[in-house]
Chain A
Amino acid sequence: MNILFKGPIVLLARLILGSVFIYASLDKILHPQEFATAITNYHVVPFGLENLMALILPWLEFISGICLIAGIMVSGASIMTIIMNIVFIIAISQALARGISIDCGCFSVSSTTEGGDKIGLISLIRDIGYLLLSFIVFYRQQKQFEFFPKSI
């Protein structure tokens, strides 16, 4: 089991998570209004706060992604990806449980023009995968290529 939390697997997990989160954030940073609509459709955010969330969440994803890849505050960034993935999993599950068909808003938010990326079991399983990767990074036993705080 220990092999999971050491060496190349941790680095790989950081790279995958980092790139996924950065990639996911870009379209939302560029289109906050569309992302706010996507959030509204989930019916979980109390009314009025969708816009603030649509502004802050993409930047949080972006910064966490950069930190994971660059080796800056990796523990803090992995806590953030754990929290975000748990929130995404809850949001998607409640939408699936209520049987509402909505756009995921996970990677691309301008889906109305290009067919759409609907939520489904796939998006749920994908997020659970990212959650596991985040836990691997958080519970890592070796700190390699981390520059702040300096690995010993």
Chain B
Amino acid sequence: MDIRIPIVQAILLVLLAITISIGSNIINTNPIPWFATKLSVADNIDTTTNEPILVAVSLSQAKSFFDDGILFVDARDEGYYEAGHIQGAMKNLFLMELVFNIEEKQSKDKSLVVYCGDPGCGDSEQLAYDLKDLGFTKLYVFKGGWLEWSNAGYPSELGK
């Protein structure tokens, strides 16, 4: 069998897919950016402002939030949470249940820190965007997550 013909066909299929996907994203009423953008890490955070905010924070900033008693939410799965999490962090079971639990403690305009496993995991950002959609206005994503926190030896706890 001549291998060139199938390869040319495959290339045609790829070009067709690229054309259609670009076209569909252009005409889509809700297009996504061509390249993913990272959350910027804020250096100076004004916690007194009432402006809605969604930014990434560093380990030291997260620690100072922790010292101020700001609520932490663990975006990871239950198993990881039970194996160790930031002291007092809230468990993420189902989004609506989480929202209910948060609202029992504080209103939607109070600060929240969301974190997951390590700087590479996407769960914390995803959860932050979900919470933002549900009306929470002051969201901080602690990108370093459990990895940086536990390496730094900051207060943590086990179990449910």
Report A's interface with B, CB cutoff 8 A.
Answer: 29, 32-33, 36-37, 40-41, 43, 47-52, 54-56, 58-60, 62-64, 67, 73, 75-80, 83, 100-101, 112-113, 138, 149
Contacts and interface: CB of A to CB of B under 8 A. Distances in A.
B35 A73 contact: no
Contact of A52 (B8, B34, B117, B126): B34
B152 interface: no
B9 A73 contact: yes
Contacts of B35: 48-49, 51-52
* Chain B binding surface SS class: helix
Interface string B28-49: 0000111111100000000000
18 contacts: A33-B32, A36-B32, A37-B126, A40-B36, A40-B122, A41-B123, A43-B120, A47-B38, A52-B34, A52-B35, A56-B17, A64-B13, A67-B13, A73-B12, A75-B5, A76-B8, A79-B7, A101-B79
B10 interface: yes
B77 interface: yes
B21 A59 contact: yes
A114 B34 CA distance: 28
B95 A112 contact: yes
B84 to A, nearest CB: 15
Contacts of B5: 75-76, 149
Nearest to B6: A75
